[in-house]
């Protein structure tokens, strides 16, 4: 899928669910809404939410844990059903984001090249939320940023059959509603509306809010080189993604909610997979390291000189990936 096709997909995945939301409001006003609609909305929101958070983000992009191929493919497929684009492009964009977060080249920073004042702030938030996906100059080549993922045939197939799999994610909740009601045709249609299109609208804007709100408002526990923030009220519906400053401080951590009270549903899922033997090599951050980082001390890149040396070494490696080198040049480990 090239950049133009990707933009058309995102446009469709943004406008069609938005229209569906207005349609759902009309039906709700006329009381054309059943318990099965709420059921499939909840089920599909959870499936696609875990697909994006635990699958696309922590498993594929940051390699926070390893799992068996069927589980890996299932999580990636659930991510495709969210309607946020192919896993390869999603991962490439996000790895690029971590490489230059809130600096020139960041695909969705709300802080670059926007005029001062309220107008500039709103323009930056819109760009970070959704506008960046329609930027003609947006490029994040998967061969450069995630060559490790490009080599996986199932991920290439999911990218090639993106529209079909996403459409299946709209039909599936209708079929679930149809089955549990014993063959109610109206439940089939409203199930597709609520569990399919309305759900895509909700999960996507929740994810996009992490990019926009999560780099503008909220608390900064750790001193990072970007403007990432922890946004508590977004943590539950985003499956833990809104502990965004925590994440930027420790990108590979499988757990974004670092404190006991920081709700992180994806971390619970990964823990459950690990306890049942379905996940291993789960990346965790020890308490001493977190305390040092919270105090403004880094054991890994504590000085400007070390950070500069690390950046220079990464810049030397990057051209090799462009020539087809098999080394993974993603910067997901950078703190």
pLDDT reading at 205 higher than 60:
yes
> Where is pLDDT greater, at 55 or 333?
55
Answer whether 267's CB lies under 8 Å from 247's CB. no
Determine phi and psi for 151, rounding to 5 degrees: -75, -10
List, in sequence order, every residue forming a beta bridge with 219; answer none if it has no partner. Answer: 230
Lowest mean pLDDT, pick from 14-18, 204-208, 279-283, 325-329 = 325-329
**Average model confidence (pLDDT) for the chain?**
88
Tokens of 164: 């079909």
User: CA nearest 88: which of 59, 48, 60, 65?
Assistant: 60
Please compute the mean of the pLDDT values over residues 278-288 and round it to a whole number.
94
**Which two structure tokens, joined as six digits, stand for 59?**
């498993």
Tokens 């909220």 correspond to what residue?
A: 218
Mean pLDDT of 134-158: 90
The pair of three-digit structure tokens given for residue 324, joined into one six-digit string:
């087809």
Place of tokens 């569906």: 20
Using CB atoms within 10 A of its CB, is residue 298 exposed (0-12), middle (13-18) or buried (19+)? middle
* Those residues with Cβ within 8 angstroms of residue 35's Cβ, 6 or more apart along the chain or in another chain: none
Q: What does the domain layout of the chain look like in residue ranges?
A: 3-322
Q: CB of 52 within 8 A of CB of 79?
A: yes
DSSP 22-48: HHHHHHHHTT---HHHHHHHHHHHHHH
Q: Report CA torsion sign: 201, 204, 209, 212.
A: negative
Going from the C-alpha of 50 to that of each of 34, 56, 159, the distances in angstroms are 25, 9, 18
Rounded-to-integer distance, Cα 177 and Cα 6, Å: 31
Q: What is the pLDDT of residue 134?
A: 87
Reported as a single tens digit per residue, the pLDDT across 89-103 is: 999 999 999 999 999
Question: Is residue 76's pLDDT more than 80?
Answer: yes
Please state the pTM of the whole predicted model: 0.86
pLDDT of residue 317 exceeding 90, the answer is: no
Beta carbons within 10 angstroms of residue 130's beta carbon:
17
Lowest mean pLDDT segment, chosen from 69-83, 124-138, 179-193: 124-138
């Amino acid at each position: 899928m090239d950049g133009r096709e990707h933009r058309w997909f995102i446009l469709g995945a943004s406008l069609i669910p938005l229209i569906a939301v207005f349609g759902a409001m009309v039906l709700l006003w006329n009381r054309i809404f059943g318990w099965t609609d709420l059921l499939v909305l909840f089920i599909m929101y959870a499936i696609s939410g875990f697909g994006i958070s635990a699958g696309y983000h922590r498993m594929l992009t940051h390699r926070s844990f390893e799992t068996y191929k069927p589980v890996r493919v299932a999580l990636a497929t659930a991510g495709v059903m969210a309607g946020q684009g192919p896993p390869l492009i999603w991962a490439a964009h996000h790895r690029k984001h971590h490489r230059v977060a809130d600096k020139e080249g960041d695909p969705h920073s709300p802080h670059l090249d926007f005029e001062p004042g309220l107008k500039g702030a709103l323009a930056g938030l819109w760009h970070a939320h959704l506008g960046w996906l329609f930027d003609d100059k947006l490029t994040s080549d998967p061969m450069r940023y995630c060559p490790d993922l490009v080599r996986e045939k199932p991920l290439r197939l999911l990218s090639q059959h993106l529209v079909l799999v996403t459409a299946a994610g709209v039909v599936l909740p209708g079929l679930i509603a149809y089955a549990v009601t014993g063959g109610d045709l109206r439940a089939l249609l409203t199930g597709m509306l609520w569990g399919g299109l309305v759900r895509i609208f909700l999960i996507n804007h929740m994810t996009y809010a992490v990019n926009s709100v999560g780099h503008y408002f909220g608390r900064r526990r750790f001193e990072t080189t970007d403007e990432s923030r922890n946004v508590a009220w977004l943590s539950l519906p985003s499956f833990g993604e809104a502990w965004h400053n925590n994440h930027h401080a420790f990108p590979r951590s499988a757990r974004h909610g670092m404190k006991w009270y920081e709700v992180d549903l994806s971390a619970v899922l990964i823990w459950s997979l690990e306890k049942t033997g379905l996940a291993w090599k789960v990346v965790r951050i020890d308490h001493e390291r977190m305390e040092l980082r919270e105090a403004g001390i880094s054991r890994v890149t504590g000085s400007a000189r070390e950070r500069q040396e690390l950046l220079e070494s990464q810049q030397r490696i990057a051209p090799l990936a462009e020539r087809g080198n098999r080394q993974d040049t993603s910067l997901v480990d950078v703190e």
